[in-house]
């Protein structure tokens, strides 16, 4: 009897070891070659671990929203969306009290004031939403009176509705990064339009408003791409290569060495290292006198945006 029990235990132990080994081997085979493949890998891991559970996402976002509300004295995201038509508490208060409450030379936007004549930078984060990183970025930006832009992939937004709602309610900008992160220069006209429109609809279904600008996956474009996108196309002039280095210190150094008034900085929302970099970059830029603004805010004070036009930066 003991011998039979020992044989069964050994068999169970061998099965467990093989299963764990197979799991590690499966991950080892996922060697990403860029943001697109990274995103696919993360999606598979999310599905396997259940990290896309909406209740967990809502809990994460709610905690971050409470943190942001305590820092800025704002209402909760739910109250902002229901009672203020997407405006933050500060925006609503400013509207009710009139322009006399706006400091001289300042413009009310995104729940705070912007000085059009002071240096400003747009930090942008591609390939999300991904709440574990995105909420950290928003927490830090809001703490320092800044707002950022998230270029989201349409097929991910329903998995992170609470994060999308927070972006919109708190004055961050949501940009279009296509529905499936396909490289548009490899597609025909109809599929290009479908990729952009599907992402527009996915975001609008949650926020009630479609993204104003588009970012091309990989920045890839040709005449067909440009002829079939009617929204302004915003690329970047400071590339951290964070998807490649996965190194926060490298991203921080790149931004602080290259940033100028009017720069558009490219980072990605998928990586913890990018979140680590962002929470260092944000206070460092504020300390240098930069205002952290969205792409549309930056463009507003630097000549505006035109449909179908490609922009890399908004220098004076």
**Alpha-carbon distances, residue 140 vs 4, 14, 52, 185, 290 (angstroms):** 60, 47, 23, 35, 15
Instruction: Write down the catalytic residue from 172, 177, 181, 268.
Output: 268
Instruction: Say how many C-beta atoms besides its own lie within 10 A of residue 176's C-beta.
Output: 28
- Residue 151 in tokens: 């270029």
The Cα 25–Cα 23 span in angstroms is: 5
| Burial of 287 per CB tally in 10 Å (0-12, 13-18, 19+) | exposed
The β-bridge relationship of strands 112-114 and 107-109 is antiparallel
Cis peptide before 129 (omega within 30 of 0): yes
126 CB contacts (<8 Å, ≥6 apart)?
35, 151, 177, 215, 266, 267, 268, 269
Region class of 215: left (phi > 0), else alpha (psi between -120 and 50), else beta: beta
> Is 268 an active-site residue?
yes
Would you call 126 a catalytic residue per the annotation?
Answer: yes
- In angstroms, the first-to-last Cα distance of the chain is 85
Q: Which of 38, 126, 127, 276 is catalytic?
A: 126
Q: Which residues are catalytic?
A: 126, 268
């Amino acid at each position: 009897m003991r011998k039979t029990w020992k044989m069964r235990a050994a068999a169970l132990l061998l099965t467990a070891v093989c299963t764990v080994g197979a799991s590690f081997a499966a991950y080892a085979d996922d060697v990403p070659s860029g943001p697109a493949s990274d995103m696919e890998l993360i999606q598979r891991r999310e599905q396997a671990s259940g990290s896309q559970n909406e209740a967990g996402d809502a809990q994460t976002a709610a905690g971050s929203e409470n943190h942001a509300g305590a820092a800025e004295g704002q209402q909760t995201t739910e109250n902002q969306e229901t009672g203020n038509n997407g405006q933050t508490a500060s925006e609503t208060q400013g509207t009710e009290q009139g322009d006399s409450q706006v400091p001289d030379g300042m413009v009310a936007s995104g729940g705070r004031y912007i000085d059009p004549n002071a240096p400003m930078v747009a930090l942008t984060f591609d390939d999300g939403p991904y709440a574990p990183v995105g909420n950290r970025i928003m927490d830090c930006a809001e703490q320092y009176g800044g707002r950022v832009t998230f270029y989201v992939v349409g097929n991910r937004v329903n998995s992170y509705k609470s994060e999308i709602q927070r972006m919109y309610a708190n004055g961050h900008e949501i940009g279009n990064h296509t529905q499936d992160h396909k490289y548009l220069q490899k597609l025909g006209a109809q599929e290009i339009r479908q990729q952009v429109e599907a992402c527009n609809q996915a975001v609008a279904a949650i926020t009630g408003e479609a993204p104003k600008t588009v970012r091309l996956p990989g920045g890839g474009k040709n005449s067909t791409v440009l002829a079939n996108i009617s929204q302004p196309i915003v690329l970047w002039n400071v590339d951290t290569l964070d998807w490649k280095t996965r190194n926060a210190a490298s991203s921080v150094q790149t931004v602080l060495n290259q940033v100028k008034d009017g720069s558009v900085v490219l980072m990605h929302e998928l990586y913890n290292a990018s979140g680590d970099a962002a929470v260092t970059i944000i206070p460092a830029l504020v300390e240098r006198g930069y205002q952290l603004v969205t792409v549309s805010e930056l463009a507003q004070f630097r000549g505006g945006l035109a449909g179908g036009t490609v922009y890399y930066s908004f220098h004076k």
